[in-house]
């Protein structure tokens, strides 16, 4: 029998998908054309209502084609509209073959140590590898539904993480992405934030590679900032941070239960940027929250103009049933669209101006694809006929709003 898999959501879901593919491949063959599949796996995300609707529509589309459709991921534990033929949550991936065989629903509230399942991972071809370091989070954001599915925090044992990284490096990986729902909380379920120590241990591995950190909340990052700044002095660690802002208004951040202030966010950004002129800042913004008035949105614009993020993800608010904010009256969709378009346009203009400043500068890059390299911040540089895995020097000859062009 053959299966086809679609992934929805974050890098953590992508890491889960690699495990799912590996576990299924013991009994089934993966195909990349759903028409050839006997059954479909949708690795779902349940953060917002809009995504749920998309997944349900996709499920019904496949069923109308005569396919069995199974769900994994967060959505089965959140929705009241499970239209799949069987499902499991993110905490019991090891039950996936049982789910397919019995066409049933299995949910386990006990945290599964996925670092023990990494041996099953079926990774994408290439020199990049994603490594999860924990499951769940300690946040209580008023708009988020993921906390209902990935409850609490379980930090994977350090030795298991290090072994997975050493194994993928032995297999030829040169770029490691650490991921979780919030990297900075790593270890707090054991009583202490241990991320800086984990990073140190990874960077001590005696191989030539690059390490990239995934998302971390300012709420927890601010408590280990000095140690993180020391970590970044190692050239193996990309000068990159994904630090979600969500709103540039302190009152709204408080309403969202985010646990930090705009000033905390800006302080982290400025200290990170002081390390290098080529430091990449990625952030996320939610526009159109029910309590986002004009003043709050203008405050967000001020922050974006001040920190000038290199990567900006703009999400239009979409309620998630069961959350605190689902009881609030939503803003008109036109307002959400206008604010979203304005921020994206501002971001593009700022980045175009910023990338112009890199003209004629030289960088050492890691070639990750034949026509793509990355600077020591992970910044994308388009090249011609590169050799994957090679470290080489390039001179920036041109640019667009979202990448540099090197020769």
pLDDT tens track for 302-322: 999 999 999 999 999 988 888
Length in residues, the chain = 407
CATH class label, 2-106: alpha beta
Cα–Cα separations (whole angstroms), residue 149 to 79, 104, 155, 179: 10, 18, 16, 17
Q: What is the mean pLDDT of the chain?
A: 94
pLDDT tens track for 217-241: 999 999 999 999 999 999 999 999 9
Q: What long-range pairs does 291-297 form, CB within 8 A, spacing at least 24?
A: 291/252, 291/255, 291/328, 292/247, 292/249, 292/252, 292/317, 292/331, 292/339, 295/249, 296/247, 296/248, 296/249, 296/251, 296/252, 297/249, 297/339
Neighbouring C-beta atoms of residue 368, cutoff 10 Å:
22
pLDDT for residue 38: 96
pLDDT tens track for 57-102: 999 999 999 999 999 999 998 888 999 999 999 888 999 999 999 9
Indicate the SS3 state at residue 272: helix
- Mention every residue, 6+ apart, whose C-beta is less than 8 A from residue 170: none
pLDDT for residue 270: 97
Query: In CATH, what number does 123-238 get?
Result: 3.30.750.210
pLDDT tens track for 364-381: 999 999 999 999 999 999
pLDDT at 247 over 70: yes
DSSP states of 132-188: E-EEE-S---TT--GGGTS-SEEEPPHHHHHHHHHHHHHTT--EEEEE-S-GGGTTG
| pTM assigned to the model | 0.92
Q: Tell me which DSSP letter residue 123 carries.
A: P
Cα 158 to Cα 202: distance, rounded to the nearest angstrom: 10
CATH of 269-357, one of 3.30.750.200, 3.30.420.280, 2.60.40.10, 3.40.50.920: 3.30.750.200
pLDDT at 141 over 70: yes
């Amino acid at each position: 029998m053959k299966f086809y898999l679609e992934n929805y959501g974050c890098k953590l879901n992508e890491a889960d998908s690699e495990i799912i593919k590996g576990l299924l491949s013991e009994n089934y063959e993966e195909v990349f054309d759903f028409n050839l599949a006997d059954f479909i796996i949708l690795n779902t995300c349940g953060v917002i209502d809009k995504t749920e609707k998309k997944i349900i529509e996709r499920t019904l589309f496949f069923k109308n084609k005569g396919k069995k459709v199974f769900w994994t991921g967060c959505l089965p534990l959140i929705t009241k509209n499970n239209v799949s033929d069987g499902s499991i949550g993110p905490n019991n991936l090891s039950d996936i073959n049982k789910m397919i065989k019995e066409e049933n629903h299995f949910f386990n509230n006990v945290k599964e140590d996925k670092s023990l399942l990494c041996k099953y991972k079926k990774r994408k071809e290439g020199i990049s590898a994603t490594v999860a370091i924990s499951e769940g989070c300690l946040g209580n954001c008023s708009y988020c539904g993921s906390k209902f599915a990935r409850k609490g925090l379980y930090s994977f044992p350090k030795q298991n993480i290090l072994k997975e990284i050493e194994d993928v490096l032995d297999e030829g990986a040169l770029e490691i992405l650490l991921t979780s729902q919030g990297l900075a909380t790593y270890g707090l379920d054991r009583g202490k934030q241990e991320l800086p120590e984990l990073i140190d241990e990874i960077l001590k591995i005696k191989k030539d590679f690059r390490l990239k950190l995934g998302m971390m909340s300012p709420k927890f990052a601010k408590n280990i900032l000095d140690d993180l700044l020391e970590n970044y002095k190692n050239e193996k660690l990309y000068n990159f941070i994904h630090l979600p802002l969500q709103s540039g208004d302190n009152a709204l951040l408080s309403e969202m239960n985010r646990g930090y202030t705009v000033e905390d966010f800006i302080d982290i950004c400025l200290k990170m940027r002081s390390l290098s002129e080529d430091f990449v800042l990625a952030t996320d913004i939610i526009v159109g929250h029910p309590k986002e008035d004009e003043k709050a949105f203008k405050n967000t614009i001020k922050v974006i103009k001040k920190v000038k993020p290199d990567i900006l993800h703009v999400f239009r608010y979409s309620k998630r049933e069961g959350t605190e904010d689902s009881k609030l009256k939503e803003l008109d969709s036109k307002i959400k669209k206008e604010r979203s378009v304005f921020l994206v346009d501002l971001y593009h203009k700022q980045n175009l101006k910023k990338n112009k400043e890199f003209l004629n500068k030289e960088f050492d890059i890691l070639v990750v694809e034949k026509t793509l390299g990355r600077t020591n911040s992970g910044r994308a540089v388009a090249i011609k006929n590169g050799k994957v895995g090679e470290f080489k020097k390039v001179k920036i000859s041109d640019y667009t709003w979202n990448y540099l062009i090197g020769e």
